[in-house]
Amino acid sequence: MAHHLVWLRNDLRSEDHPALYGACQAAATSGDNVTAVYIATPEQWQRHDEAPAKLTLRSQLLTSLRSKLAELGIAFELLECPRYSDIPALLTGFVHHQGISALWYNREYPLDEVNRDEAVCAALSGQSVDVHPCDGDMLLAEPTLNGQGQPYKVFTPWYRDWVRKNEQLALPALPSPPPVGQPLAANSAPIELPGATQYREDLWPASEQHAQTLLGHFVINQLQSYGDQRDIPSIKGTSTLSVYLASGVLTVRQIFAAVVGACEASGHNWREDDWFRELGWREFYKNLMIHYPKLSRGRAFKGETERLHWQSDEQLNLLWQQGQTGFPIVDAAMRQLQRTGWMHNRLRMITASFYTKLLFMDWRAGEAYFMQHLLDGDFASNNGGWQWSASTGCDASPWFRIFNPTRQSEKFDPDGAFIRKLVPELADVPAKQIHCPPSAVRQACGYPEPIIDYSQARSAALAAFKALSEN
């Protein structure tokens, strides 16, 4: 009798899980056993700036998934080692002890994860273990290339090609796998991963079913209004599903099926859907991560921007982190991140532009801070977003595009509703003043003066990028 092992990573779900489905399908036909394993790597997580709140969410998702696996007759094991480099020896020993004959896992694409998996495969090569890498995190099994077989460097032509290929080649979402035996006794003890603290469970319940329900509600009730509402932080105009995508509770294939179904039912063209286009950016950044390993090593996509001399000012950095910059929309956004572990996408662009273009701080420090606090921290998307804002990335914002936080606030939070909620010092300030309160109002409210002069900071940033382009 064969014994199949499913190695769970950032894919904490039972549905549309190619590795789990493949192992169960193979086992069900021959009466084999299936075991699932998750390996905690606390030192590696710290090195990767994993948010403690995200680890708490992951703990609860694992607890819930363990119960689902037990219903399917699948045993669950939690292992631990400090770093990825320790996994080959740990997993080899486990495989030998348990009599494992086949290992199944879903591919991950950042460089450390690729190297980890290659090391595990090498360690198992002499163990008579069949290894089955599966594709479960992208719509297309293979990265999208242009007509010359080269990686795309601009999003729009990549997106057109990606949409066209999805019509023909997108992998279907898989159902829950078949049971492999009688249900196992449930373990009610909660799983607690190292480094976990707490998170806003009231906002994002640790439930695969809840995530699927939220997806269905969004595509039916909010999909068509997304384009008009997505930039308004005071309302729930976005899906907030990024939290579940980042933890692998939902897949982009499930979302694709839901979007296509909802659009066809309403007569809307999914190929031109604004929300689906945003999902395209997620896949675009994963494509870049595959083709350009330097992005996993803290390097700028545009090599010439490595010559920029970023400012190093710990006090300014701390005030930005604390939401005490004196720019209300920036402070409201940063406080949202602190309180919830999430930030509205428009605000991510505003705060990142403020950090890189106006404070002129290194985008890598901002990228790390976001990962340390975001529940939906996805390495490829976070890296791509920060490099876009800093004008160092692929198809990034032009270097001369610098968000004016006051104008952004007036445009996307015109009555100050979002600011009032997150910056209570300004709750009673009139709408005409709330975006840039006069000094007397700031003093009366106990709200700080701006930590920079916008015009001067903008001019300095433009001069730095212009000098770079001229050399």
Q: pLDDT tens digit string along 218-244? A: 999 999 999 999 999 999 999 999 999
Q: Are residues 308 and 235 in the same domain?
A: no
> In this structure, is residue 298 part of a structural domain?
no
| Per-residue confidence band for 322, with pLDDT thresholds at 50, 70 and 90 | very high
Residue 312 domain boundaries:
303-470
Is 158 labeled as catalytic in the residue annotation? no
Task: Say if residues 280 and 375 touch (Cβ distance below 8 Å).
Answer: no
Q: Are residues 341 and 437 in the same domain?
A: yes
Q: Are residues 94 and 26 in the same domain?
A: yes
Q: Are residues 348 and 370 in the same domain?
A: yes
The pLDDT of residue 1 is above 80: no
Is 278 labeled as catalytic in the residue annotation? yes
Q: Measuring CA to CA, how many Å separate 466 from each of 110, 143, 312?
A: 32, 34, 20
Number of domains in the chain: 3
Q: Are residues 169 and 62 in the same domain?
A: no
Residue-averaged pLDDT of the chain: 95
Is 345 labeled as catalytic in the residue annotation? yes
Give this prediction's pTM: 0.96
CATH number at residue 264: 1.25.40.80
> In this structure, is residue 106 part of a structural domain?
yes
Active-site residue, from 10, 115, 345, 404: 345
Q: Are residues 76 and 149 in the same domain?
A: no
Q: Are residues 41 and 13 in the same domain?
A: yes
Is 388 labeled as catalytic in the residue annotation? no
Is 204 labeled as catalytic in the residue annotation? no
> In this structure, is residue 187 part of a structural domain?
no
> In this structure, is residue 432 part of a structural domain?
yes
Q: Are residues 335 and 433 in the same domain?
A: yes
Q: Are residues 458 and 362 in the same domain?
A: yes
Active-site residue, from 77, 115, 192, 310: 310
Active-site residue, from 45, 342, 363, 388: 363
Q: Which residues contact 250 (CB under 8 A, 6 or more apart)?
A: 13, 208, 211, 212, 215, 241, 244
> In this structure, is residue 193 part of a structural domain?
no
**Token representation of residue 397:** 């914002």
Q: At what angle do helices 274-291 and 155-169 cross, to 10 degrees?
A: 100
Q: For the segment 115-170, what is each residue's pLDDT rounded down to a tens digit? A: 999 999 999 998 889 999 999 888 887 788 888 999 999 999 999 999 998 888 77
> In this structure, is residue 458 part of a structural domain?
yes
Active-site residue, from 43, 278, 404, 410: 278
> CA-CA distance, 261 to 258, in Å (whole number)?
5
- Return the DSSP state at 250: S
> In this structure, is residue 204 part of a structural domain?
no
Q: Are residues 155 and 45 in the same domain?
A: no
CATH number at residue 457: 1.10.579.10
Q: Are residues 77 and 168 in the same domain?
A: no
Active-site residue, from 281, 342, 388, 399: 281
Per-residue confidence (pLDDT) for residue 31, from 0 to 100: 85
Active-site residue, from 386, 388, 399, 425: 386
